[in-house]
Structure 1
Amino acid sequence: MNADPDSGLLSPVRAGTPAEAATGDLAWLRALLDTEAALARAQARTGLIPQDAAAAITEAAASAEIDVVALARAARETANPVVGLIMELTEAAGTEYVHRGSTSQDIFDTAMMLVAARTRALLTADLESTAEALADLARAHRDTTMAGRTLTAHAVPTTFGLKAAGWRQLTLEALDRLNRVVLPVSLGGAAGTRAAYAEYARLAELPDGYPQRLQTAFAEETGLAETTLPWHTLRTPTADLAAALSFTAAALGKIAVDVQFLTRTEVGEVAEPAGEGRGGSSAMPHKRNPVLATLIRSAALQVPVLATGVTQALVSEDERSAGAWHAEWQLLRECLRLTGGAAHTAAELARGLVVNDERMRQNLGLTHGQIVSERLSTVLAPLLGKARAKEVLGQAAKLALEQDKALGEVLSGLPEITGVLPAESLADLLDPAHYTGSAGVLVDAALEAREEKPKTP
């Protein structure tokens, strides 16, 4: 029987998503092989090894059939999978030039950045799709009035367009953060001095400054960035990436938790896109659970915790760490695939979200007009005096609740109110759609500002 694969049984948010495939064991193995091949080509370009050796290594890396389970188990003897990989690749390539002057951490960290870069491309595409769908919602519902809620209760009116614009803003800010993360090659040698690379270059009678030229070629071969210093125990790249993933997952989690609330039976203002068998309960046939939002929220609750572990690896001892480096691997992989799964799910949710504007109007009336009490207080204060206006409105609100009447009905029966406000003015003041402040303008500004902003290179 083969080793039990991690197919996402306990992590459905990423099960079957592109990010899962991009971060699985086979993807990491491919990145490790690609890194060794890229290093060989870079060394050939810079004159350290023969071109035919680099070609043989590249061909062997592309066609190697390596048992990932056996490689993982062999890593128990060396604390990382690179040692066993080098042995197999050297045999397959038939050349002694594999891994020349390098060290396990150079290869593994560069491969880790390749995995991150490949996953980021998938993740950012899903974020862009999510943002586009949310922009459509914001435009379509620019003036769709709904209850604004603070501390879970009705406060003042807002618009669904403004809520969607806020979701989009967070999504775009996450996208910006991810795009700003620098993903570099690792080229430090055994202890960050690049001594072996330099020594091989000296023996080959190459000009001084070889390690820097090699880093440039290595970065070009992998499509990754260069660094000023080797980063074996200067873990800025992984910490930055984890932080951006943490923000992204949490930003998507904000959307998810809002959707969960708005889909509640007693609220019913939005619904997730329908699908065959989606949202079903094992015990209650009538239920339609908000599964997409639930999956996203599950990732949002995990990634920040995992990212903290990656950040702790900044506290790495000496020039190579015994344990802190190793602890990053699974933590960062989980951050990548959970966030990638959440982004993929968010794109589906945003594209298919069903908005029930009629239910929003109905819910605005649940407090019988009291959702505009702030407006009434503002208008009546200069007419009656601030203290008296507050007293009159407080009494009217209490009476409306006790008698199950609309606030407007109670106010229209008070001479103190009718003496300063004509009936048509009171009716206008009581209309929630006429008290959304700058919501529409804010939606327009959010959409226009982003359209004008240059994209991050």
Structure 2
Amino acid sequence: MSSTVFDSFLYREMFSTAPMREIFSDESFVARMTETETALARAQAKVGIVPHDAARIITDSVRPGALDHDRLRADTENVGYPVLPLVGQLAEQCGEAGGHLHWGATTQDIMDTATMLQCRDGLDLVAASLDRVREALRRLAAEHADTVTAGRTHLQHALPVTFGFRAAVWVSALDRHAERLAQARERDLMVQFGGAAGTLASLGTGPEGLAVRAALATELGLRDPEITWHVARDGLNEIVALLAAIGGSLGKIGWDVMMMCSSEFGELAEPFVPGRGASSTMPQKRNPISSELVVAAAKLLRDRASTMLDAMMQDFERATGPWHLEWATIPEAFQLAAASLHQTEFLLGGLEVDVDRMRSNTALTGGLIVAEAVMMAVAPALGRQRAHEVVYDACSQAIEHGRDLATELRRHPDLLAELGGDRIDELCDPSNYLGSAHAMTSGVVNG
């Protein structure tokens, strides 16, 4: 029986992906905890704390697939954590060698390290999907580097831009996120091994404890931290915050696409799939479902980032409750990020761009979109402030009397005398006032 959008047979493909669900499944988490326990035995054997034969038997004997799940679930509910019940069953599988399992470790060591292994695999999926989205956006930006469209501020026409420029702005944020992902992987994917209070006291006062931690990090391919991080949760917080930031940037794309798909804009349409986005009562509907899901994921990810900030405030050397917040938040954040990237990749893969509608929409305000171009052209002669006043008056008259800007400009003697009719027509062409849009777009596409 399912009860959330992440495991719902109705909604799970809209709020998650199968590969990410697999990484953060119960079976995967148990397997990662088991992997950590066997790696710990091998690391301790290398340092001379656990017999090599015991470490070998432990590694060869444990079988996560043979665990009694009903027993593990019941014992976890009773204990409050899954590690003690897990170690009990694994020890039974290992016979006498099982007495060397979990040597000097504490529950949080195993669970945190298992979570980090899951995060590592999850970040692999996120990075690969992000790369595909970035490549799709680069193609879109290159294809439409010269496609003139209305730049909008406060949802009103501002100045002309190109659709390629808009797509390049989208991808520029994702490029920076890709850099952050690489940095976060190196900084945050840390092994956890500190023992009951983080001091590794159970392994003595010599170098053995730190040597085991370093060997465990090597075994698992994680970073060996400078000190135990049981209550220093900045690493996991950064990972979730980055997922939320990626979701926010994707949400911005989804929001723009959704707006441009509206009937009044009519500039974009999501890929056509029979029945997708259909209404139960309105046959004409083709709703931007992927964009809507991306925006929803961005909002949900924001809440997960907020929860992780809450979870950072942990008391003394082991927390009384904030740690538990992570158990729900981290898997959900990864699933939402994966779904958002998947939906974005889908919508970009077949996005329909109406170039003619984009251009015709620039004329909706009768040329007012290039008012700044006229102002800047006459500013050298009239001064900027006087130029602003004259063009502002021309715009006001055009709006009031329903005339286009070029016609109204010709009615102003100062402007007509300074510019001439041909120059006014040239200035009122949106394609002539794009500034460095092409150069910046090319810089992103080819960067």
- What's the TM-score once normalised by structure 2's chain length? 0.92
Corresponding residue of 1:188: 194
Corresponding residue of 2:7: 7
- Structure 1 CA distance, aligned partners of 2:121 and 2:70? 23
Is 1:436 the counterpart of 2:442? The answer is no
Alignment check: 8 A CA contact 2:142 2:164 kept: yes
- Structure 2 CA distance, aligned partners of 1:388 and 1:232? 65
Identical residues among aligned pairs (%) = 36
Corresponding residue of 2:218: 220
- Structure 2 CA distance, aligned partners of 1:61 and 1:328? 27
Corresponding residue of 1:204: none
What residue ranges of structure 1 are gaps of 5+ in the alignment?
Answer: 200-207, 451-457
- Structure 2 CA distance, aligned partners of 1:312 and 1:388? 54
Is 1:153 the counterpart of 2:159? The answer is no
List per-residue Cα deviations over 1:262-304 (Å, max 9, x = no partner): 1111112122122243212233221111111111111111112
Query: Are the structure 2 counterparts of residues 387 and 106 from structure 1 closer, same or farther at C-alpha, using a change threshold of 3 Å?
Result: closer
List per-residue Cα deviations over 1:179-218 (Å, max 9, x = no partner): 212210100001101122338xxxxxxxx41112111211
Count matched residues.
440
- Report the secondary structure of 2:15's partner residue: coil
1:317 Cα shift? 0.9
Alignment check: 8 A CA contact 2:34 2:64 kept: no
Is 1:114 the counterpart of 2:117? The answer is yes
CA RMSD of aligned residues (A): 2.1
- Which shows bigger deviation, 128-137 or 379-388? 379-388
Query: Are the structure 2 counterparts of residues 15 and 3 from structure 1 closer, same or farther at C-alpha, using a change threshold of 3 Å?
Result: closer
- Structure 2 CA distance, aligned partners of 1:69 and 1:440? 62
Which amino acid in 1 is paired with 2:203? Y
- Structure 2 CA distance, aligned partners of 1:69 and 1:378? 75
- Report the secondary structure of 2:158's partner residue: strand
Query: Are the structure 2 counterparts of residues 231 and 429 from structure 1 closer, same or farther at C-alpha, using a change threshold of 3 Å?
Result: same
Corresponding residue of 1:88: 89
- Structure 2 CA distance, aligned partners of 1:234 and 1:100? 23
Alignment check: 8 A CA contact 1:64 1:92 kept: no
Query: Are the structure 2 counterparts of residues 131 and 173 from structure 1 closer, same or farther at C-alpha, using a change threshold of 3 Å?
Result: same
Alignment check: 8 A CA contact 1:242 1:311 kept: no
Q: Counterparts in 2 of 1:36-51, with a 5 A limit?
A: 36-51=37-52
- Report the secondary structure of 1:13's partner residue: helix
List per-residue Cα deviations over 1:58-110 (Å, max 9, x = no partner): 23444532354653343221221111111111112222222122111000000
Among candidates 407, 410, 421, match of residue 423 of structure 1 = 421
- Report the secondary structure of 2:189's partner residue: coil
- Structure 2 CA distance, aligned partners of 1:67 and 1:230? 32
Alignment check: 8 A CA contact 1:175 1:248 kept: no
Q: Counterparts in 2 of 1:11-160, with a 5 A limit?
A: 12-68=13-69, 70-94=71-95, 95-160=98-163
Q: Counterparts in 2 of 1:356-395, with a 5 A limit?
A: 356-386=354-384, 388-395=386-393
Is 1:173 the counterpart of 2:176? The answer is yes
Which amino acid in 1 is paired with 2:190? P
1:394 Cα shift? 3.2
Which amino acid in 2 is paired with 1:104? T
Alignment check: 8 A CA contact 1:20 1:341 kept: no
Corresponding residue of 1:203: none
Corresponding residue of 2:281: 283
Query: Are the structure 2 counterparts of residues 385 and 107 from structure 1 closer, same or farther at C-alpha, using a change threshold of 3 Å?
Result: closer
Query: Are the structure 2 counterparts of residues 166 and 68 from structure 1 closer, same or farther at C-alpha, using a change threshold of 3 Å?
Result: farther
Q: Counterparts in 2 of 1:224-373, with a 5 A limit?
A: 224-373=222-371
- Report the secondary structure of 2:150's partner residue: strand
- Structure 2 CA distance, aligned partners of 1:88 and 1:278? 48
